[in-house]
Structure 1
Amino acid sequence: MSGLIGSLTAAVGGSFGELADAAARFGYWAVLLVVAGDGVFPLFPGETAIVAAAVLAADGTLSLPLVIAAGAVGAVIGDSTAYWTGRRGRGPIRRGVVKVAGAGRIEAAERMVARQGAALVLAGRFLPGIRIAINLSCGAGQMSYRRFLLFDSVGAVLWSTQAALIGYFAGKAFADKPWVAFGVAFAVMAAVGAVIGVRERRHVRRQRAAASSEKEPATPS
């Protein structure tokens, strides 16, 4: 399975036929596991796995609805893991996740969750930089798990569907050139991610600045 994950995410070397054969055997499980890992450690390329599998679905190697389902289930598993890591408080796992997410993002996420609540959980699926911080903050006492699960599930389905459709339509548009389809799909995802990343960083900076101003003692008049 590790070989398949490497093929799906790197999309280099070998022939398309070999990749398709591997995907037919392990594709859905690979997508689920990679996306679940991405929910806790963003070094796992969750969006990439879904896009790659969806490109393969364009020629019938995989089923598009099952690719979407695998991505959504993996997303919920990963996000729930982050939620319960936040709920359990201190510990080596939490310290590791906090280190990955960054203390600044955690602080910003706590303020954002307190103000926007469930809507932020849904939108958080589309914010890779601060996603883990949001889920940790929800688990740390900002939201019940039942409410979190409801909105996170909706966000996971929408997020997985968006990534899968990009890959699927690229695969259809370049049906005779599968590697071109991979390249186009990944380029689109990278462009969307770059725009989201810029807006996300600006919002995090605003939240951190607001938090700093609130901590400053008032000067006597």
Structure 2
Amino acid sequence: MFEHIDFNNLLATYGYLAVFIGCLLEGETILILGGVAAHQQALHLPLVIFWASLGGMLGDQALFWIGRYFGARLLPRLHRQQAAIERVTGLIHRHPLTSIFSVRFLYGMRLVGPMVIGASRLSPLRFSLMNLLGALVWAALFASAGYWAGQFLESLLGDLKPYRLPIAVGVVIVVGGIALARHLRAKAKEQHKA
């Protein structure tokens, strides 16, 4: 079934768009895959980093403004996210600029973090500048990790072109497994506290 799909053409045609949209919404998985594709020369690493940074930054900007205008009504309704909201709120009070930069690197904070920061009334200009810096560093780290993972896999398997689909599925499974394990551990901590 999949042997007739030209993944090179798909990557060349939609790769940057997929990186942009993936990073606009979530990011790490598609960014690692973008780095692997860059290693295979289906995409260019600087462009993967650019589109990932842009998507990640715009996504967080949108969440910031949602928090700015609707945070007072929206955040109290996010019962499952209360631990994350309290964690980000504490971080904002102690280290406002660091919180903006680091929120995308903290598990479970990527979506709620920018909303909490927006609701906290931090300066939009300060948020935008630190958000841009954080997005650039985040994109460079994860895309480079994917690039070096591609190099490692190539040293093990040789030419990766026949393995692109299994590699993509494998990355999704590993990242999903890590996310699930973290989610279950956080849930267990919440239940232990209650």
Q: Which bracket does the TM-score occupy, shorter chain normalised? A: 0.7 to 0.9
2:38 matches 1:57: yes
Q: Residues 120 and 22 from structure 1, CA distance in 2 versus in 1: closer, same or farther, beyond 3 angstroms?
A: same
Q: Which residue of 2 aligns with 1:218?
A: none
Q: Residues 16 and 158 from structure 1, CA distance in 2 versus in 1: closer, same or farther, beyond 3 angstroms?
A: farther
- Return the match for 2:22 from 34, 51, 54: 34
Which fold has the larger relative contact order, with Cα–Cα distance below 8 Å and residues 6 or more apart in sequence? 2
Report the AA paired with residue 148 of structure 1.
F
Q: Which residue of 2 aligns with 1:75?
A: 56
Contact 2:71 2:115 (C-alpha < 8 Å) held by counterparts: no
Q: Residues 130 and 159 from structure 1, CA distance in 2 versus in 1: closer, same or farther, beyond 3 angstroms?
A: same
Unaligned runs of at least 5 residues, structure 2:
none
- Aligned pairs (5 A) from 1:1-221: 14-15=2-3, 18-38=6-26, 46-89=27-70, 94=74, 99=78, 102-173=81-152, 174=154, 175-178=158-161, 179=163, 182=167, 186=171, 190=175, 197=182
- How many pairs are equivalent? 182
Q: Residues 53 and 100 from structure 1, CA distance in 2 versus in 1: closer, same or farther, beyond 3 angstroms?
A: farther
Report the AA paired with residue 24 of structure 2.
A
Contact 2:40 2:160 (C-alpha < 8 Å) held by counterparts: no
Q: Residues 163 and 185 from structure 1, CA distance in 2 versus in 1: closer, same or farther, beyond 3 angstroms?
A: farther
Instruction: For residue 30 of structure 1, report the CA deviation from its aligned partner.
Output: 1.3
For residues 40-69 of structure 1, give each alpha carbon's deviation from its aligned partner in whole angstroms, at most 9, with x where no partner exists. xxxxxx111111122111121111100011
Contact 1:101 1:129 (C-alpha < 8 Å) held by counterparts: no
Instruction: For residue 182 of structure 1, report the CA deviation from its aligned partner.
Output: 2.9
TM-score by length of 1: 0.68
Instruction: For residue 183 of structure 1, report the CA deviation from its aligned partner.
Output: 6.6
Alpha-carbon distance in structure 2 between the residues aligned to 1:183 and 1:22: 13
Report the AA paired with residue 62 of structure 1.
L
Q: Residues 170 and 149 from structure 1, CA distance in 2 versus in 1: closer, same or farther, beyond 3 angstroms?
A: same
Q: Residues 16 and 74 from structure 1, CA distance in 2 versus in 1: closer, same or farther, beyond 3 angstroms?
A: farther
Report the AA paired with residue 171 of structure 2.
F
Aligned-pair identity in percent equals: 26
Instruction: For residue 105 of structure 1, report the CA deviation from its aligned partner.
Output: 1.5
Q: Residues 167 and 68 from structure 1, CA distance in 2 versus in 1: closer, same or farther, beyond 3 angstroms?
A: same
Report the AA paired with residue 9 of structure 2.
D
